[in-house]
Chains A and B, each alone.
Chain A
Amino acid sequence: MRFALSRLARSLCAAVACSFLVFGCLELAPGGPVAAVTRGRVLSASDLRQINESYGFDKPFLQRYLDWLGGILHGDLGTSLASREDVAGLLAGRAAHTLALIAYAGVLVALFGVVSGALGGSRGGVADGVVVVTSSALAAIPTFVAGAALVWLFALRLPLFPTFGQGTGLLDSAWHLTLPAVSLALASAGFTARMTRAAVIEEMDKEHVVTATSRGLPRRAVLQHHVFRNAAVPTVTALGTSIAGMVASTVVVEKLFALDGLGSLLLTAVQTNDFPVVQGVTLVLVCAFILINLLVDLSYPLLDPRVRVGASP
């Protein structure tokens, strides 16, 4: 319990620090928020003054930050400068889309990364060779290259999947999200496979595993109770890092497949200096990142009882 509380407190501090960074960095961005209100138009000096006043751009930095932070505590993320819509409303629908994409990709990573890594690490031989080569190759492919290649192959040459879009309903959405999720998952799956494999091999060499094997315990029992159980902590860490990393990669994938998620919203908002939206999306992404890491942290005591008594995992 104390472990959980201390991790939670740490995460909260990180979130507040990030909120200040996000707000402060935009303050330094060239162009300023007026460009978002006028959306590329040039207005007369008096019109510009009117905008600066009615949007409060002329207030001091700290006051605007505290106003914004206060708003967040009340669930108010502000109003988009470009569309004059509630930022929270803009985020809500899109967050679900991004979540679906990451969840789909996360399942793929867990399925292929963890399973192939465990297989390669425990089997050795040819199977391991195949896992090492494939996972190294996959981990090296940038997401946008993977996406473009997948579209070319599975949407243009073999028209099995659509080239873009979100889809409606469960089946149609899954069909639409397959190529994006695979592009997102490939590199992470490679990384996770390598980490899992390394963890399994490390455990295989441990004394108690060798002892258990030499005492004639069935291989299956040895793997299940001694190898995989102990390899779980580094594997979950790798999986968590992968999924957290995918949060950032959604920007690329969502643009490439014209998906209406947080990533594409962020991209548009950055291009138009729509600061409240940039702040809102960044904050949500940062919180998602922190949350994933928190969940990984909290899973340690469940996976490894030693963590509960204070030893480091």
Chain B
Amino acid sequence: MLAAALVAVVAIGGCGSSDDNNGASNIGTPSTFTDQTPAPTGPLDEITWGLAEGEPASLDWIYNWSYGADNTIQANLCEGLWRQQPDGEITAGLATDVKHPDPLTYVYAIRSDVTFHDGKTMTADDVAFSLDRNLTADPPSYWGLWYENVKAITATGPNEVTVTLSKPDELFDTMMSTPAGYVGEKAYIEAKGSSYGSPSGGVMCTGPYKLEKWDKGSSVTIVANDAYWDPSLTPRVQRIDFKFITDPGTMANALLQGEVDGAWSPAISSVQRLEDASSGTLYMNKGPVVAMMQLASLDGPLKDLAIRQALQALIDYDGIVSGVLNGAGAPAASIAPAAAWGAASDIYSAAYDKLPPAKQNLDRAKELIASATSPPTRPIQIGVTSDDEQVLKAAQAIQSTAAGLGLDIVVKVLPPAEFTSLFFDAKAREGYDLLMNTVTVDVPDPLELYVQLAPPSPYNIAGIDNPTYVDPLEQARSETDADARAASVVKAQQSFADNVYGFPIYSEYSRVFLNNRLTGVPVSALGRLYYPWAATLGKA
């Protein structure tokens, strides 16, 4: 979840973002704030797509969980048992149906009409083998934590795979709509060994596009899979050439000049320039990515609940959204904003309104600080990753507001790799009270995010174990009914907010820039990662 998105913002000649018009004025206008770009009118031979995160390290999905280039390409090549629709619905994918005779058993009915890109038919063996890699691969699968309750995965028929759990876990089935449930060809993966997913090894999947060429360092080319099994997602664009452009200014220039036809999530600092582009349109939509300060320790200056509540109340949410995000986002009262709610959105929507609002209240913050029984004896130390310019600016804004109320905050900026190491190195983490970066759900179910901040997840670095938070999550994880599950999750969410176990700040809008000749893609930050979005593109 911790999206250390490698949007490397090394400010090289940085195009000075002009904050002169106070943000939101011309952003989110009705024509470009949408969840769906206009329908395409016809086919296109070839397009060029920019990847702001640079070259993927691998296309083997068990090692792809970066919310970046790898998942963006992969979403079009490979698919899972379920398909995650851009609107949050989970529908049939490589599996047509699942039987859930008891809480520990899932029996998946696998499609019989699917072929891999090399023409071989997909079998239950391929499915069982692919899922099993998440348990047995070396180095271990990044998605392995969703398999922690899995006991066995067996092909129980030509088109049937049975998964047995050791403990009820409703999230397991949902996660089959992510790379945790992707299926590749067994024989191919075994033959390639450790080179699977590399530029030389390639991948062998079933998606609407196939990998044609990975030109190390410069581009990845994918081409339409003419034998794709799902006619509703027949590609209209024959060939897509992905280019790696990590400098935000260079990406904006390339989009403005039409040298690149489209790009997901162009840098916030380029939003203004791209909105004024004549070469194409920047579409935006509500998004699941949330900037938050995560508790690193409950023993330091933040051990007093009143201080945590004061910090929550003093943040200038609106100011940060307009000043730092240039309006391309919204204040967030929860780490699971509307774009993450999925099927149970009524329940989450009602619960959201009861959370402490994402609204600055300096009077209340002052009162809380005065009422604290154990006020901080040293400054609150926040660790921030240097690769997200907006998060860093937000941290500095919070620091300056807090200083005005006599609450001392130190912001420490760390390179991405060092920042990540704070999560698994308790010694390096000493002295840090908060870690700030962006987080997102992977499936339209907030439960996925909250369980990662509870025991035994390695992300729960502050050791949160309050029963009012943990128990409802435990319940939700074994609850089969979606509404009942949501009802439990909102209880946990309320406890998380009441105890201020984290500080959500804002959600970023999902963003996509499309050249004038191109249209059709859903404007969804999750769809970009886990839905075959390229198959929706076509001639404008």
Interface positions of A (Cβ within 8 A of B): 30-32, 34-45, 47-48, 50-51, 54-55, 80, 82-85, 89-90, 93-94, 97, 144-145, 147-148, 151, 155-156, 159, 162-166, 252, 255-258, 260-261, 264-265, 267-268, 270-273
A54 to B415, CA, bound (A): 26
A272 to B415: give the CA distance in the assembly, Å: 9
**Inter-chain contact A40/B246, CB cutoff 8 Å:** no
The reply to whether B245 and A258 contact each other, CB–CB distance below 8 Å, is yes
B420 & A147 in contact (Cβ 8 Å cutoff):
no
Chain A residue, CB-CB nearest to B458: A42
Return the CB mask of B55-84 against A: 1 if under 8 Å, else 0. Answer: 101100001011000000000000000000
Residue contact A156 to B420, C-beta cutoff 8 Å: no
- Stretch of B247-255, B300-308, B394-402 at the chain-chain interface: B247-255
Q: In angstroms, how far is the closest chain B Cβ from the Cβ of A310? A: 46
Of A42, A83, A151, which contacts B2 at CB under 8 A? A42
Q: Residues of A contacting B8 with CB < 8 Å?
A: 267-268, 271
**Contact, CB under 8 Å: B418 / A30:** yes
10 A-B pairs with C-beta separation under 8 A: A30-B418, A31-B419, A32-B425, A40-B66, A43-B144, A82-B57, A147-B13, A151-B250, A252-B12, A258-B246
- Interchain CB contact under 8 A, B55 and A268: yes
How far, in Å, is A9 (CB) from chain B's closest CB? 35
Q: Assess whether B247 is in contact with A258, with CB atoms less than 8 Å apart.
A: yes
Query: Nearest-CB distance from A164 to chain B (Å)?
Result: 5
Decide if B2 touches A40 in the complex (CB within 8 Å): yes
Could you give, for residues 419-438 of chain B, a 1 whenever the CB lies within 8 Å of some chain A CB and a 0 otherwise? Answer: 11101110010000000000
Contact (Cβ within 8 A) B57 A260 = no
Report yes or no: B58 in contact with A84, Cβ–Cβ below 8 A. yes
When distances are taken between beta carbons in the complex, the residues of chain B under 8 Å from A38 are 142, 420, 424
Assess whether B222 is interfacial by the CB under 8 Å rule.
no
Q: What CA separation (Å) do A265 and B54 show in the bound complex?
A: 10
Contact of A43 among B244, B415, B458 (CB under 8 A): B458
Interface residue from B6, B13, B63 paired with A144 (Cβ < 8 Å): B13
* Contact status of A43 and B245, CB under 8 A, knowing A155-B257, A163-B253: no
B residues neighboring A (CB under 8 Å): 2, 4, 6, 8, 10, 12-13, 54-55, 57-58, 63, 65-66, 138-140, 142, 144-145, 194-195, 198-200, 216-218, 243-247, 249-250, 253-254, 256-257, 259, 387, 414-421, 423-425, 428, 456, 458-459
CA distance A163 to B492 in the complex (A): 50
> Closest 8 A-B residue pairs measured CB to CB?
A148-B13, A260-B217, A273-B417, A40-B4, A31-B418, A163-B253, A82-B57, A31-B421
Whose C-beta in chain A lies nearest to the C-beta of B15?
A148
Chain A, residue nearest B421 (CB):
A31
Task: Describe A's contact surface by its main secondary structure.
Answer: helix
Cβ-defined contact, A44 with B254, below 8 A: no
Max count, chain B CB within 10 A of own CB: residue among A30, A145, A258, A267: A258
Cβ-defined contact, A47 with B144, below 8 A: yes
Within the complex, which residue of B4, B198, B246, B257 is in contact with A84, where a contact is CB–CB below 8 Å?
A: B198
Q: Which residues of A contact B6 (CB under 8 A)?
A: 40, 271-272
CA distance A148 to B243 in the complex (A): 20
What residues of chain A lie closer than 8 Å to B424, measured between beta carbons? 34, 38, 42-43, 45, 48
Residues of A within 8 A of B10 (CB): 255, 267
Which residue of B139, B387, B423 is within 8 Å of A50 (Cβ)? B139
CB of A36 within 8 A of CB of B417, answer yes
Residue among A83, A256, A264 with most chain B CB within 10 A:
A83
Q: B257–A159 contact, CB under 8 A? A: yes
A31 touches B417 (CB 8 A): yes
Query: What is the CB-to-nearest-CB distance from B130 to chain A, in angstroms, rounded to a whole number?
Result: 19
Task: Knowing A43-B424, A164-B259 are in contact, say whether A271-B57 is a contact too (CB < 8 A).
Answer: no
Q: Assess whether A35 is in contact with B139, with CB atoms less than 8 Å apart.
A: no
Q: With A40-B416, A165-B243 in contact, is A255–B12 under 8 Å at CB? A: yes
Q: Give the residues in chain B near A82, CB-CB below 8 Å.
A: 57-58
Asked if A42 and B138 make an inter-chain contact with CB atoms under 8 angstroms apart, the answer reads no
CA distance A265 to B256 in the complex (A): 26
Cα–Cα distance between A260 and B195 once the two chains are bound (Å): 21
Residue in B199, B247, B259, B415 whose beta carbon sits within 8 Å of that of A85 in the complex? B199
CA distance A37 to B63 in the complex (A): 9
Does B259 contact A165, Cβ atoms closer than 8 Å? yes
Instruction: For B257, list chain A residues within 8 Å (CB).
Output: 155-156, 159, 162-163
- Taking the closest CB of chain B, its distance from the CB of A196, in whole angstroms, is 29
Q: How far is the CA of A54 from the CA of B245 in the complex (A)?
A: 33
* Assembled-state Cα–Cα distance A264/B414 (Å): 20
CA distance A93 to B214 in the complex (A): 13
Question: Which of A80, A271, A273 is B387 in contact with, Cβ under 8 Å?
Answer: A271
In the bound complex, CA of A265 to CA of B145 (Å): 31
B418 contact set on A, CB distance < 8 A: 30-31, 35, 273
A41–B206 Cα gap in the complex (Å)? 26
B421–A44 contact, CB under 8 A?
no
Picked from A31, A37, A270, the residue with its CB within 8 Å of the CB of B139 is: A37
Best-buried of A42, A84, A151, A159 by chain B (most CB within 10 Å): A42
Chain A residues with Cβ below 8 Å from B254 are: 163-164, 258
Residue pair A145, B58 in contact (C-beta under 8 Å): no
In the bound complex, residues from chain A placing their C-beta under 8 Å from that of B256 are 156
B415's partner among A31, A51, A258 (CB-CB below 8 A) is: A31
Q: How far is the CB of A41 from chain B (nearest CB, A)?
A: 4
User: B57 contacts A42, CB within 8 Å?
Assistant: no
Q: Which residue of B lies closest to A273 (CB)?
A: B417
Q: From A93, A147, A273, give the contact of B216 (CB < 8 A).
A: A93
The smallest C-beta distance from A269 to any residue of chain B, in angstroms, reads: 10
Once the chains bind, are A30 and B428 in contact (CB under 8 Å)?
Answer: yes
Tell me whether B253 and A164 are in contact (CB under 8 A). yes
Q: Would you give the shortest CB distance from B55 to chain A, in whole angstroms?
A: 7
**In the complex, A144→B416 CA distance in Å?**
23
Q: Which residue of B lies closest to A35 (CB)?
A: B417
Least Cβ distance of B262 to chain A in Å? 15
CB-CB under 8 A from A155, the residues of chain B are 253, 257
Chain B proximity of A45: nearest CB distance (Å): 7
Report A262 CB to chain B, min CB distance, Å. Answer: 10
Task: Flag if B194 contacts A84 (CB, 8 Å).
Answer: yes
- Chain A CB within 10 A, most for which of B2, B195, B217, B414: B217
Are B247 and A255 closer than 8 Å at their CB atoms? yes
Q: A82-B57, A83-B58, A164-B253 known; A47 and B140 CB under 8 Å?
A: yes
Closest Cβ of chain B: how far from A42's Cβ, in Å? 4
**Residue among A30, A50, A80 with most chain B CB within 10 A:** A30
